[in-house]
């Protein structure tokens, strides 16, 4: 039996019952109301959905537990309950590279890129990453410094399936 007042318990239960979540369960998973998810879907924001016949479903991938998006949304909603959807989108747009870097589940060193920066800059490295954020897999090219902090993300591609993302990630090397 799930504690209906605890959003974390509801989200855990939603993930355990099925890898395909209906709008109610998806709302529990990402920490939003059903109506907010429906609005976000019509405007192209929020978690990615698929149609299964006439039903809308969010697929909960095996890496969904690593997705920082639900926690991020609930944190913003607590602080800005009236307009959190737009605020979430603005923050993600401004900080997309950091979200992608923090979502990585694998990385691949591609090459040293010291020659691209001015003399005196720390050594930089081009790194390929495979990550999971906002309900989708991603493969990105990142430039990181010697301390492994993201400095630039020139490219990111999104995938619905892990196998497709893994192929793109492996092709980087």
Average pLDDT over residues 43-53: 69
User: What are the pLDDT digits (tens) for 104-134?
Assistant: 999 999 999 865 555 556 788 999 999 999 8
Domain boundary among 32, 65, 94: 94
Residues 133 and 148 in one domain: yes
Q: Which two tokens stand for residue 162?
A: 């892990």
Residues 101 and 168 in one domain: yes
pLDDT value at 23 more than 60: yes
Using alpha carbons, select from 8, 20, 12, 11 the residue that is nearest to residue 160.
Answer: 20
Q: Looking at residue 11, what is its pLDDT?
A: 58
Domains of the chain: total = 2
Burial status of residue 56 (CB atoms within 10 A of its CB: 0-12, 13-18, 19 or more): middle
Question: Of 79 and 61, which is predicted with more confidence?
Answer: 79
Q: Containing domain of residue 48, as a range?
A: 7-94
Assess if residue 129 is contained within a domain: yes
The share of the chain scoring above pLDDT 70, in percent, equals: 73
């Amino acid at each position: 039996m799930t504690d209906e007042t605890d959003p974390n318990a509801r989200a855990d239960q939603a993930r355990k019952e099925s890898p395909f979540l209906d709008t109610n369960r998806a709302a529990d998973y990402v920490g939003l109301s059903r109506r907010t998810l429906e609005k976000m879907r019509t405007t192209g924001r929020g978690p990615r959905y698929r149609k299964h016949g006439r039903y809308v479903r969010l697929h909960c991938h095996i890496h969904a537990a690593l997705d920082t998006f639900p926690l991020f949304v609930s944190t913003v909603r607590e602080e800005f309950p009236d307009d959190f959807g737009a605020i979430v989108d603005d923050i993600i747009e401004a900080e997309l590279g950091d979200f992608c870097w923090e979502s990585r589940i694998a990385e691949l060193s591609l090459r040293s890129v010291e020659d691209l920066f001015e003399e005196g800059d720390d050594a930089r490295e081009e790194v390929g990453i495979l990550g999971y954020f906002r309900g989708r897999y991603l493969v990105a090219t990142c430039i990181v410094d010697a301390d492994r902090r993201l400095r630039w993300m020139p490219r990111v591609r999104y995938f619905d399936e892990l196998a497709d993302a893994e192929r793109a990630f492996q092709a980087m090397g």
